[in-house]
Amino acid sequence: MRVVADPDALDRRFDAAPDPIGQGKRELVLAPNRGRFVRKCPGTMGLVCCNYWVIDLAEGCSLDCSYCVLQGYLNDRRIRLATNIGDLVDQIDAELARWSGPARFGTGELSDSLMFDPALGLGAELVEIFRARPRATLELKTKTDNIGGVITAPPASNVVLAWSLNRPSVIASDEKGAAGLDARLAAARKAVEAGWKVAFHFDPLTLGPGWEEEYSDVVNRMFDAASPDNVAWISLGALRFHPSMKKIIKRRHGESGILGAEFVLCPDAKMRYAKPLRRELFRKMKSFIDARAPSAPVYLCMEGIEMWNAVFGHGPARACALESVFG
Partner 1 sequence: MKGVTFASLPLADINPDQRFCFSHPVSSDSLLDSVRENGVLQPVWVVGDEAGEKTLVSGFRRLDAAARAGLPTIPALVFAVTAPYDLFIRHLDENTATRELNSVELALAVGSAIANFGKSHDEVMDGLAPRLGLERSRKVLDDLLAIAGFGPAARELASAKGVAPGRAAVMASCGDGDRETLCRWLLDHRFGVNKSLKLFETIMEIAEAEKIPVENVIEDVETSITDDMDPPARAARMFDLISARRNPQLEKMKNDFAAAVKSAGLPGGVEIIPPANFEGRHIEFRIRAGDAKTAVTRARAVADAGEKKLNPLFKWI
Which residue, 11 or 93, is less far from partner 1 as judged by CB?
11
Site string for partner 1, 6-45 (x = CB under 8 A): ---------xxxx-x-------------------------
- Cα–Cα distance measured from residue 233 to residue 163, given in angstroms and rounded to the nearest whole number: 11
Site for partner 1, residues 261 to 320, rule: CB under 8 A: 261-262, 264-267, 272, 274-277, 304-306
Which residue, 95 or 174, is less far from partner 1 as judged by CB?
174
- Cα–Cα distance measured from residue 40 to residue 63, given in angstroms and rounded to the nearest whole number: 25
List CB contacts of 254: < 8 A, sequence separation 6 or more: none
Nearest to 93 by CA among 144, 132, 142: 132
Site string for partner 1, 211-250 (x = CB under 8 A): ------------------------------------x--x
Residue 164 C-beta: closest distance to partner 1, Å:
25
Phi, psi of 226 (to 5 degrees): -135, 115
DSSP state of 304: B
Scored b (16 or more CB within 10 A) or e, 2-41 reads eeeeebeeeebebeeeeebbebbbebbbeeebeeebbeee
Which residue, 141 or 278, is less far from partner 1 as judged by CB?
278
Check binding of 132 to partner 1 (CB under 8 A).
no
Which residue, 195 or 260, is less far from partner 1 as judged by CB?
260
**Interface positions with partner 1 (CB under 8 A):** 15-18, 20, 46, 247, 250-251, 259-262, 264-267, 272, 274-277, 304-306
